[in-house]
Amino acid sequence: MELTVKIFKALSDQSRLRILKALQSKILCVCEIREMLSLANSTVSEHLRILKDAGFIIEEKAGKWVNYSIHPNPDDSRIVAILTRLDFWIDDDKIINKDKKLLKMIDRSILCCKN
């Protein structure tokens, strides 16, 4: 039951749903996610921790960046089922579409050097 609660908690926040949809498009670092959500690094990090604890995402260090991506082989088949149906629930949402456009314009090598 504990994992089920973690899964539903991860899905119960708009920012976390936006992160999941963005990560379905491409691998992102905290700076890119922060820019997309307009939230503080600490808040973004907490959202990422919740998604990671539930098994939706993984992180991988690559040079100066920590990259986040959708977990390619989650232990729980419910995660796969949810991710494959996420488009059905929120793909045409105005905020999701705005995020997709913004992510195409974000250049991490410029953005991450600002901070």
Helices (H), the chain: 2-11, 14-25, 30-37, 41-54, 77-90, 94-105, 108-111
Residues with Cβ within 8 Å of 86's Cβ and at least 6 positions away in sequence, in order, are 17, 20, 21, 24
Q: In the predicted model, what is the mean pLDDT of the chain?
A: 89
Contact 102, 35 (CB under 8 A): yes
- Indicate the range of 15-24, 49-58, 98-107 predicted with least confidence: 98-107
HSE at residue 104, side-chain half, CA atoms within 13 A, is 5
The reported pLDDT for the residue numbered 1 is 82
Map out the domains of the chain as residue ranges: 2-111
Mean pLDDT of the 10-15 span:
94
pTM listed for this prediction: 0.90
Structural fold of domain 2-111: Arc Repressor Mutant, subunit A (1.10.10)
